[in-house]
């Protein structure tokens, strides 16, 4: 009588193990978390590392300080003002931190940074 019970229990455990959801890899977890935040995984920077890039809702809005934006307040265009000059800018478009840009704090241009 014990043998059929053990056999049924063993078969049940095997079936449950086969039906269990597959564990996500760290990469799959990163993609899921990024997607949940409304972002996309993109290759960025010189090393083309895969990172979550989120588009900011206030992208392109006029600003004079980083506190005005979800990301940074940045000088618009390719002409970079000298550090300390009074300027206005636009809120950065995405969370991508790579490239050359000049941030604006308290209505003044900060030093230009190039991050690769």
pTM (2 decimals)?
0.72
Q: How far apart are the first and last CA of the chain?
A: 70
Phi, psi of 55 (to 5 degrees): -85, 130
Query: Which residue matches tokens 């799959």?
Result: 28
Which residues are bridge partners to 100 per DSSP?
114
Is residue 91 a contact partner of residue 73, using CB atoms and an 8 Å limit? yes
Each residue's pLDDT expressed in tens, for the chain with a length of 116 residues? 454 555 455 555 555 555 656 888 988 898 999 999 999 999 999 999 999 999 999 999 999 999 999 999 999 988 889 999 999 999 999 999 999 999 999 999 999 999 98
Length of the chain: 116
């Amino acid at each position: 009588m014990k043998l059929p019970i053990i056999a049924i229990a063993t078969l049940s455990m095997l079936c449950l193990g086969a039906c269990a959801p597959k564990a996500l890899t760290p990469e799959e977890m990163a993609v899921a978390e990024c997607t949940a935040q409304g972002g996309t995984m993109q290759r960025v920077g010189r090393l083309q590392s895969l990172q979550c890039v989120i588009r900011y809702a206030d992208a392109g809005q006029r600003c004079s300080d980083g506190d005005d934006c979800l990301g940074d307040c940045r000088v618009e265009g390719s002409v970079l003002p000298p550090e300390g000059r009074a300027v206005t800018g636009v809120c950065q478009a995405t969370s991508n931190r790579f490239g050359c840009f000049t941030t604006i704090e308290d209505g003044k241009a900060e030093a230009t940074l190039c991050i690769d």
